[in-house]
Amino acid sequence: MNTKLLASIAIFALLAGVISTSAMQSAYAADYGTSDKAADAKKLADKKAADAKKLADKKAADAKKLADKKAADAKKLADKKAADAKKLADKKAADAKKDSGTGKATGKASSDAVTVEMEKGTATNTECGDKCFVPNNVQVKVGGTVTWKNADTAAHTATDSNGAFDSGMVMAKGSFKHKFDTAGTYNYLCIVHPWMKGTVTAS
């Protein structure tokens, strides 16, 4: 063997070693580098998916909270309306009871039975105006009755201006009842004290 050949072999071997090492390194790098990128991409995708889910969950939770609040508000409003309606109905019932109980009917609503009082002092008080017959103006249903009660010490009458009814003399603590079978407006007065005037409307 000569020296030149030995040197050539040595150089070849060295080169081969260098080339194979670098080839392995690049293969390694390519392999693991790609794998790292894929892992990173997966991680990123997972994070995005997790974030998206979190956001969707939050939106759903917010929407539910809002819907619950709306439902609660609607219920509260409905409850309040129902309570108000009940209160109003109770008040009306109480007023109606009060009216029928005392005979001091307001005359605002048409009813089957209305009571009118001939007030105290009306025989002498020519200024009693709409406080002679109380209430002064009453509404009654057709077929309903109006009862006049004399709360005064003097005798009075309830006499229709057109002759539809006439109580005659109603003594102190006495009363007179008339049934209204025909719709209409009836103006009446006390023939003893003609300043005492009242109206019955039957409808």
Which residues of the shown chain bind Cu ion in the complex (CB under 5 A)? 156, 190, 192-193, 196
Min. distance of Cβ 156 from Cu ion in angstroms? Answer: 3
Residue 97 · residue 83 · CB < 8 Å = no
Min. distance of Cβ 170 from Cu ion in angstroms? Answer: 9
Closer to Cu ion by Cβ: residue 144 or 186: 186
Closer to Cu ion by Cβ: residue 144 or 200: 200
Closer to Cu ion by Cβ: residue 110 or 125: 125
Closer to Cu ion by Cβ: residue 193 or 197: 193
Min. distance of Cβ 116 from Cu ion in angstroms? Answer: 13
Q: Report the length, in residues, of the chain.
A: 203
Among residues 2, 1, 20, 22, which one has the least CA distance to residue 12?
A: 20
What whole-number distance in Å separates Cα of residue 11 and Cα of residue 188?
Answer: 144
Min. distance of Cβ 195 from Cu ion in angstroms? Answer: 9
What whole-number distance in Å separates Cα of residue 38 and Cα of residue 26?
Answer: 18
What whole-number distance in Å separates Cα of residue 59 and Cα of residue 200?
Answer: 67
